[in-house]
A = this chain, B = another copy of it.
Amino acid sequence: MTISPLFTDLYELTMAQGYLLNHHNPHVVFDMFFRRQPYGGGFAIFAGIDTLLDDLEGLKFSCDDISYLGSLGYFGDEFLEYLSEFRFSGSVLSFREGSLVFPEEPLIRVEAPLIEAQIIESLLLNIVNFQTLIATKAARVLVATEFGSILEFGMRRAQGYNGALMASRAAYIGGASGTSNTLAGRLYNIPVSGTMAHSWVMAFDSEAESFERYSELYPDTSILLIDTFDTLNQGIENAIIIGKKLRKQGKRIGVRLDSGDLSYLSKQVRARLDAAGLRYAFIAVSGDLNEQIAAQLLAEGAPVDVWGVGTQLATGHPDAAVSGVYKLSARYQGRQIIPTMKVSNNPAKMTNPGIKQVFRFYDKDRTPLRDVIQLADEPIPEGPMELHHPTLHYKRTMFSAFHSAEEQLLPVMREGKRLNPQEDLKIIRDRVITQLQRMDETFLRQINPHEYKISLSRALRDLKFRMIDEYNRG
């Protein structure tokens, strides 16, 4: 699937023509970052960069695109000609896909001629904002289920085809074990799963017959939906018959509960399965689940083995979006770098000037301690450092008790070419899980989490304050 660069806000193009005709197309540096964690949580999972890089490599206006733009009446021949030759020729640095990330730190750094950097803005934000939202949601569900087995099946209420496909991709990265979205399975190599709906059970003369037919056909994946008629008086009994039959073949069943009180029912069903000697039969639950409901079920001791999560995972509900932004941080004048920043009455809306790097500091067990945003030309941190709060100027600290430091923004694209092939999603998913497991639990709390520390280096903070002072002097 390639996307047209016409997938951009029109103002990017009206501005781009203005820059071209005013001969104002310097090399610039943009940072993508967000200011607030989604869901009021303590972390986000960065996702989408691999999708973005593929798209950037393929970006090209088609003849239809160009003639459409011509028809709008805004654009002259010189600009249309420029667009017909348009390719993204910039460089990109980025956090690794699947990194735990935090507010204020640059997640992606784009260096390109101004016009190119602007035309890709909407595409970049669209991809990364959404996939990060969903990967984060999946990781929250993963934590809530104590690293349980989660199946994503939200496609029927996801936002568009591609909303569904990207949601499946991002949910898997964030820790889901699989998806029901078969096309996502093929495109992204995600394990797919799914067995029967109520309509299957109702298509036969009896529930017992429907289970029988199913287990004959799929003896290895017989997850029987037992709530169509009466879970405890009928469904579980019919499932146990199949379970005993399959046990003789060395195979096991699962049962799925999709309605009713999942805590009460799962305990009853577990007891009945155990009493029938089907201790290995597993219990899947579904039905408008989210991280809060999962946590509550576990707190009540519900014996759930598999969590089917749909709409709320695929849409990131109750948040609609990660509010990622893309802001100019420097421009080149010849070979000289001019840092730029947005000065605002609202300190939270100020940006951090200059070309920056992010370091993550670890203790000896590789538990992350804090992140530091510094200027890219500062040396790799070693000894004790003076660190500053990103917005509150009176907050500072000395920091030295760390074991190692790791650069987070790595080169992923140079002159429009990606530097590495797509990673297998399984590797990205493993990275997410490893990081979550290394993180102190207080940062993973669902609500009111411990706030992970993001600091500015002394040099970055000094640059920022100097620029604010200059601005205030007019």
Give residues in A with beta carbon < 8 Å to B: 3-4, 6-15, 17-19, 21-22, 24, 64-65, 68-69, 72, 74, 114, 118, 121-123, 125-127, 129-130, 153, 155-167, 180-183, 185-186, 192-200, 202-204, 213-214, 217-218, 221, 311-312, 315-318, 320-324, 328, 340, 342
Binding site of A, secondary structure by majority: helix, strand, loop or mixed?
helix
Q: How many angstroms from the CA of A69 to the CA of B185 in the assembled complex?
A: 10
Contact A4 B130 (CB under 8 A): no
Closest 6 CB pairs of A and B: A162-B162, A10-B194, A11-B194, A159-B159, A163-B163, A157-B321
Contact A166 B157 (CB under 8 A): no
Please name 19 further chain A to chain B contacts, defined as beta carbons within 8 Å, in addition to the given A64-B186, A315-B315, sorted by A numbering: A8-B183, A10-B180, A12-B194, A17-B217, A18-B200, A18-B213, A18-B214, A72-B192, A125-B157, A130-B157, A130-B160, A159-B166, A159-B167, A159-B316, A160-B162, A160-B166, A161-B162, A162-B162, A311-B320
Q: How many angstroms from the CA of A192 to the CA of B13 in the assembled complex?
A: 12
Q: How many angstroms from the CA of A157 to the CA of B13 in the assembled complex?
A: 19
Contact A213 B22 (CB under 8 A): yes
Contact B157 A160 (CB under 8 A): no
CB-based nearest B residue for A230: B345
CB-based nearest B residue for A72: B192
CB-based nearest B residue for A121: B156
CB-based nearest B residue for A3: B161
Which residues does chain B contribute within 8 Å of A65, judged by CB atoms?
Answer: 186
Taken together, the copies of this chain in the complex come to: 2
State how many angstroms separate the Cβ of A432 from the closest Cβ of chain B: 20
Which residues does chain B contribute within 8 Å of A24, judged by CB atoms?
Answer: 203-204
Which residues does chain B contribute within 8 Å of A328, judged by CB atoms?
Answer: 199, 202
Q: How many angstroms from the CA of A200 to the CA of B323 in the assembled complex?
A: 21
Contact B182 A10 (CB under 8 A): yes
Q: Contacting A180 at CB < 8 Å: which of B9, B126, B156? A: B9
Which residues does chain B contribute within 8 Å of A129, judged by CB atoms?
Answer: 156-157
Q: Contacting A203 at CB < 8 Å: which of B21, B114, B160, B214? A: B114
Q: What are some 20 contacts across the A-B interface (CB < 8 A)?
A: A6-B182, A9-B182, A13-B194, A14-B196, A21-B217, A74-B218, A118-B199, A121-B156, A122-B155, A125-B157, A126-B164, A159-B159, A159-B160, A159-B163, A160-B161, A160-B167, A202-B342, A311-B320, A317-B320, A320-B320
Contact B130 A158 (CB under 8 A): yes
Q: How many angstroms from the CA of A61 to the CA of B182 in the assembled complex?
A: 12
Which residues does chain B contribute within 8 Å of A122, judged by CB atoms?
Answer: 155-156
Q: How many angstroms from the CA of A64 to the CA of B185 in the assembled complex?
A: 12
Which residues does chain B contribute within 8 Å of A321, judged by CB atoms?
Answer: 157-159, 311, 315, 317
State how many angstroms separate the Cβ of A17 from the closest Cβ of chain B: 7
Which residues does chain B contribute within 8 Å of A217, judged by CB atoms?
Answer: 14, 17-18, 21
Contact A160 B156 (CB under 8 A): no
Q: How many angstroms from the CA of A130 to the CA of B159 in the assembled complex?
A: 5
Contact B197 A11 (CB under 8 A): yes
Which residues does chain B contribute within 8 Å of A221, judged by CB atoms?
Answer: 14, 74
Say yes or no: A193-B10 contact (C-beta < 8 A), given A156-B121, A185-B68: yes
